[in-house]
Structure 1
Amino acid sequence: MHQLTHRMNTYLQAFNAYLYLLCYRFFTYWQHLHWSAQVLSIFALSRLWGWVIFSVIGAQDKYTPWKTGPMSYAEFISIWDSGWYEKIALDGYPRILPTNSEGIVAQNTWAFYPLYPMSVKFIQELTGSAYYPTAIALATVSGFIASLVVYLLFNRSISWCRQHRLHLNNRSSRAVESPHHLALWATAAFAWAPVAPILQVPYAEALNMVFLGLTLYLMMTQRWALGAIAGILAAFSRPVGVPLGALAGIWWLICMYRSYHQTPQAHPTVSTLRGVLIKHLGQGVSAISICAAAISWPLIAWAYTGRMDAYTATETAWRQSHLVLFQPWIAQSQEYFGPAGVPVLIMSILGFTFLMASRCARRVLHPVLNLWCYSYLTYLLLFLYPQSSTFRLLLPLFPLLVVFIGMSGSRAYRVLWIVASAIFQSVWVGWLWHWKELPGGGDYPP
């Protein structure tokens, strides 16, 4: 018996040594891959995890409005708002807005932007494929492209900060982490974020992440014409046009202000201002183009239906109330937290402000990314009705991930962050994507 135990321990030690050597060789090989291969491999592993979560939880369904009994992976990810996008691809948008018995505008497709469903329809016509396989493929491929764009964005942002904010990077205790290494970790945090499963379902989020990330990257690199094109496409994929237009306009004014006051003349003149305007003409045209795209969709809805409030009336149909700026956040905070609701809301806003002003944020966030986070959060506070879908709507704040990952160079901290995020993915899918009818009917939307 003793000899058998000794032999088993010997085999086990040999197996552990072989496994360690195999992992070591794999990571050595992986570290020498091109950055794009590293990013895509990370994102592929995260999407495999998403497939496992959707497949396991979908198999638990007994009844949903879409199907009775367990659902396959493709069936399960094609529920909720996926049906609205399919309807747009098949039937377009209604000329006459549907209303209920009281004459109030009912839920309809005008709340959903056209770029994603029309892209699916275009691919269908080219290939002759069915809607959902095409929609799932486009969303998944877009997610992979978005991961590459996010890496480039993070790498550029960190590199810029290293060049322009050297006083924030003096660390005598250890070497400064390379932009590539930190950007790769931050991209992994994006791929494994709690709501990242949305990047593989037939929603518009993945495609929007591509164009939103490209717009921010092109603004950072001062490629204004391409940035305008990407910004317009982003504005027609998801409702990010208003904060994106605000970002473009404010950044344009900031750049002109800096140029005006950096003139070598002792007292800038009118000719100096003219020169500044000419210098930033391309940026100005780009900003105006994105702002025009931001208001185009409500105008198109008005022109097509003949009703001025077609878009806003449709958006508020989900909340069953009129559009009131900021007030829903106060009401919902009191609904969920009682008397402590407003203080919690105020502390959350202050916490975000302190985070954006922190040394860690200034060490990794380019001013464009900083300004984008402020613009988008302000947009949410003004127009969003906070409810269960709010978690998904926070995805465009992904630049914050490089701040959180950059707070510590500890590998244990970063691995724990990603593992926790992966666990929360299963919580998000199991709690919100999985259908569980409420006592009053319906369910919380993801």
Structure 2
Amino acid sequence: MSPADVGGVRARVRRRSVAGPGWPHAWWARVLLVWLGARALSALTFLVVARTQEATPWTDAAPSYAQYTGLMWDASWYRQVAEAGYPAGLPHGPDGQVTQSAWAFFPLFPMLARGLMSLTGGSWEVVAPTLALLLGTAAALVVHQVLAAAVERGPLAGTDVGRRLPLAGVAVLGLIGAAPVLQVAYTESLALLVLAGVLWCLVERQYLLAAVLAPVLGLTRAVALPVVVAVAAHAVARHRAARADGVAPRPGEWLAMAALAGTAGLSGFLWPLLVGLRTGSLDAYTQVQSAWRGRGEVVPLLPWVDVARYFAGAWWLPALVVVVGLGVLVVATRPLRLLGPELWGWTAGYLAYLLVAIEPGTSLVRFLVLAFPIAAVLALLALRAARWRAALAVLLVVAALSQVAWVATVWRLVPPSGWPP
């Protein structure tokens, strides 16, 4: 080999070291391969299940993939927002009570879809699921980076488990339970993307950027408020670290953390406030939500008792204790804490928020998609097994089966009525 050839080889090696590994080995390529494989499985499941779908209020029998993912259930509410906007006021029924209406549905996803529909000329049932798929794929990339950043700052840094965890966590998240919702015309994909962005900013101490993203989250889903718990957990961890090593955050950083917490808290009330201003009734959002509740009103905690009594009868209290106990166990165990204070704080705050704010039902499985650190915890437990490859494979197979079951039993409607996904 001539000196010129040697120099050329050295130059190529230097360029490769600067640019990072080739694309087949790059982190983002692995994430895309895993995520799009999971979404392909979801698409196949939708196609197979759609062939058995009877006619519904939204589609004819055996709908196409676009119809099945773009029109079913709440997707038609979002379509109404995109194509017709919101009602002029609060719709009322013949009895004078506020009825279900589009005001219950957050505006950012349908408005993005509306913009793309105008640009492309595409229909809602084509544009909206495609948009959700793209947003969910972007969310998977950000979730990977959140997990990687959390691992780098925690006790798993430098370990084999820590290196494998981000990709394994994304794989579990992409396959488990209601993960197919990340490619239908719902807001979960956008919410996951923005939420993961906020948490990444928090882990990386980009507080002002996180404060910019918080209102975006507040216009996407009703999940901005629990971010305050993640910020508080982060602040406590920084305070403890400062006491241990004597390097305290600068005053400006404390101010930025406080600003982020305040912005996240206010963002949790942003859409209800806008609904109140648009309709002329400050409690309009609560009134609309009441139309969906079995009690006919929004009250904290009691819906869990109602649902437990409905399903478990005389055993409602033990059943409720088991469900709440599982949530406490997830928050209290060490694996979640290994992911860092930010992901622990988000999960703890979000699970507490679900306990206080929602009426539980089959939709709870979908809501848990945003508790993505739980998927990482499951991946972590598998990776720490003696035969971790076998354990992870079993976990992924079980997760995939749960996804198929969700589409077949929850997304699929058996008329005349069913439990919403």
1:285-434 matches, within 5 Å, as 285-320=259-294, 321-363=296-338, 365-409=339-383, 410-434=388-412
Contact 1:241 1:294 in 2 (8 A): yes
Q: TM-score, normalised by structure 1?
A: 0.83
Secondary structure class of the residue paired with 1:394: helix
Once residues 253 and 160 of structure 1 are traced to their aligned partners in structure 2, the CA distance between those partners, rounded to angstroms, is 15
Task: Give 5+ residue unaligned stretches, structure 2.
Answer: 1-20
| Structure-2 residue corresponding to 1:34 | 26
Whether 1:244 and 2:212 are equivalent positions in the alignment is no
Which amino acid is 1:444 matched to? W
Which amino acid is 2:51 matched to? A
Q: State the Cα distance separating 1:299 from its structure 2 match.
A: 1.0
Once residues 236 and 88 of structure 2 are traced to their aligned partners in structure 1, the CA distance between those partners, rounded to angstroms, is 42
Q: State the Cα distance separating 1:68 from its structure 2 match.
A: 3.0
| Structure-1 residue corresponding to 2:4 | none
| Structure-2 residue corresponding to 1:43 | 35
| Structure-2 residue corresponding to 1:152 | 145
Change (3 A) 1:62 1:105: same
Which amino acid is 1:42 matched to? V
Once residues 201 and 30 of structure 1 are traced to their aligned partners in structure 2, the CA distance between those partners, rounded to angstroms, is 32
Change (3 A) 1:386 1:135: same
Q: State the Cα distance separating 1:251 from its structure 2 match.
A: 3.8
| Structure-2 residue corresponding to 1:195 | 178
Contact 2:208 2:256 in 1 (8 A): yes
Give a deviation string over 1:268-307, Cα, whole Å, max 9, x none: xxxx9xx965441122222222222211111111111011
Contact 2:161 2:380 in 1 (8 A): no
Once residues 430 and 264 of structure 1 are traced to their aligned partners in structure 2, the CA distance between those partners, rounded to angstroms, is 56
Once residues 23 and 402 of structure 2 are traced to their aligned partners in structure 1, the CA distance between those partners, rounded to angstroms, is 28
Contact 1:116 1:204 in 2 (8 A): yes
The CA RMSD over aligned residues, in Å, is 2.4
Q: TM-score, normalised by structure 2?
A: 0.88
1:42-191 matches, within 5 Å, as 42-78=34-70, 79-162=72-155, 176-191=159-174
Q: State the Cα distance separating 1:216 from its structure 2 match.
A: 0.8
Secondary structure class of the residue paired with 1:186: helix
Once residues 209 and 284 of structure 1 are traced to their aligned partners in structure 2, the CA distance between those partners, rounded to angstroms, is 23
Once residues 31 and 216 of structure 1 are traced to their aligned partners in structure 2, the CA distance between those partners, rounded to angstroms, is 26
Q: State the Cα distance separating 1:339 from its structure 2 match.
A: 2.5
Secondary structure class of the residue paired with 2:153: helix
Change (3 A) 1:180 1:276: closer
Contact 2:103 2:288 in 1 (8 A): yes
Give a deviation string over 1:31-60, Cα, whole Å, max 9, x none: 961110001011111111111110011011
Secondary structure class of the residue paired with 2:407: helix
Give a deviation string over 1:289-347, Cα, whole Å, max 9, x none: 22222111111111110112110111121114111110111121121122322222223
Q: State the Cα distance separating 1:162 from its structure 2 match.
A: 2.4
Contact 2:202 2:342 in 1 (8 A): yes
Change (3 A) 1:276 1:57: same
Once residues 279 and 381 of structure 2 are traced to their aligned partners in structure 1, the CA distance between those partners, rounded to angstroms, is 50
Task: Give 5+ residue unaligned stretches, structure 1.
Answer: 1-28, 167-175, 266-271
Give a deviation string over 1:126-179, Cα, whole Å, max 9, x none: 333322222121101011111111111111222222278x9xxxxxxxxx4242
Change (3 A) 1:51 1:443: same
Once residues 245 and 183 of structure 2 are traced to their aligned partners in structure 1, the CA distance between those partners, rounded to angstroms, is 49
Secondary structure class of the residue paired with 1:407: helix
Say which one has the larger Rg: 1
Q: State the Cα distance separating 1:92 from its structure 2 match.
A: 1.5
Contact 2:235 2:257 in 1 (8 A): no
Contact 1:228 1:290 in 2 (8 A): yes
Which amino acid is 2:146 matched to? L
Change (3 A) 1:252 1:178: closer
Secondary structure class of the residue paired with 2:382: coil
Once residues 30 and 335 of structure 1 are traced to their aligned partners in structure 2, the CA distance between those partners, rounded to angstroms, is 56
Secondary structure class of the residue paired with 1:232: helix
Which amino acid is 1:211 matched to? V
Once residues 307 and 245 of structure 1 are traced to their aligned partners in structure 2, the CA distance between those partners, rounded to angstroms, is 27
Once residues 396 and 35 of structure 1 are traced to their aligned partners in structure 2, the CA distance between those partners, rounded to angstroms, is 22
> Which 10-residue stretch deviates more, 177-186 or 211-220?
177-186
Change (3 A) 1:371 1:386: same
Give a deviation string over 1:210-232, Cα, whole Å, max 9, x none: 00111111111100111112222
Contact 2:69 2:125 in 1 (8 A): no
Change (3 A) 1:212 1:258: same
Change (3 A) 1:61 1:48: same
Once residues 30 and 64 of structure 1 are traced to their aligned partners in structure 2, the CA distance between those partners, rounded to angstroms, is 48
Contact 1:161 1:362 in 2 (8 A): no
> Which 10-residue stretch deviates more, 219-228 or 315-324?
315-324
Contact 2:237 2:341 in 1 (8 A): no
Q: State the Cα distance separating 1:355 from its structure 2 match.
A: 3.2
Change (3 A) 1:68 1:180: same
> Which 10-residue stretch deviates more, 35-44 or 396-405?
396-405
